[in-house]
């Protein structure tokens, strides 16, 4: 199944969902596959400087890994196309207007937005407002 690429349809149907728990972004220079399995990362990305992991805060603390500030994850439950244009810009602009930083992970089916834990409820409210406004806007 291919994802939606129409921006207004994406915004009107994004249905943001705030997940329980806190996450941290950690970076590690070298890591064995067995260590990765034990840590059960939500996500990872290899950069020149090392491997970035997105871990549950508790898992990082248990392993003694220093991570960035705690984040909460909001998933846009609409199935967005990897080739969709403007979705990230639209929700990023709305969050920026509210003074909320965002780290975005675009996966195959959905976009996942990591926001500072203290701003999670405001971020969710801002994204829901954007969805409502988009649903009420007449299609061109």
Q: What is the pLDDT of residue 33?
A: 59
pLDDT attached to residue 138: 79
Q: Which residue has the tokens 């996450």?
A: 23
State in Å, rounded, how far the first CA of the chain is from the last one.
26
CATH class of 1-21+71-140: alpha beta
pLDDT at 37: 75
Query: In the predicted model, is pLDDT for residue 107 greater than 80?
Result: yes
Place of tokens 């990872």: 44
Res. 140: pLDDT tops 80: no
102 pLDDT exceeds 80? yes
30 pLDDT tier (thresholds 50, 70, 90): low
Instruction: Note the pLDDT of residue 47.
Output: 83
What is the rounded distance in angstroms from the CA atom of residue 22 to the CA atom of residue 72? 5
Determine the Cα–Cα distance for residues 21 and 114; give it in Å rounded to an integer: 12
Averaged confidence pLDDT in the chain:
90
How does DSSP assign the chain, residue by residue?
A: -PPB--HHHHHHT--EEEPSS-EEEEEES---HHHHHHH--SEEEEETTEEEEEEEHHHHHHTT---SS-EEEEEE-S-B-TT--SHHHHHHHHHHHTT---EEEE-SS-EEEEEEGGGHHHHHHHHHHHHHHHHHSPP-
Q: For residue 130, is pLDDT > 80?
A: yes
**pLDDT for 32 beyond 90:** no
Question: Where in the sequence of the chain do the CATH 3.30.2130.10 domains occur?
Answer: 1-21+71-140
Question: Packing angle between helix 120-136 and helix 87-97, nearest 10 degrees?
Answer: 120
Lowest pLDDT segment from 34-48, 50-64, 71-85? 34-48
Q: Between 51 and 140, whose confidence is greater?
A: 51
pTM of the model: 0.91
Q: What is the pLDDT of residue 89?
A: 96
């Amino acid at each position: 199944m291919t994802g939606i690429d129409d921006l207004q349809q994406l915004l009107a149907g994004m249905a943001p969902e705030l997940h329980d728990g806190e996450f941290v972004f950690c970076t590690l220079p070298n890591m064995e596959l067995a260590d990765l399995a034990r840590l059960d990362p939500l996500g990872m990305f290899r950069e020149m400087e090392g491997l970035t992991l997105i871990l549950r805060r508790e898992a990082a603390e248990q392993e003694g890994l220093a991570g960035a500030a705690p984040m909460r994850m909001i998933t846009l439950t609409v199935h967005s196309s990897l080739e969709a244009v403007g979705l990230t810009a639209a929700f990023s602009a709305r969050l920026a207007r509210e003074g909320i930083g965002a780290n975005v992970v675009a996966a195959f089916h959905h976009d996942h937005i990591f926001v500072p834990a203290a701003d999670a409820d405001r971020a969710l409210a801002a994204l829901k407002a954007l969805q409502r406004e988009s649903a009420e806007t007449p299609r061109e």
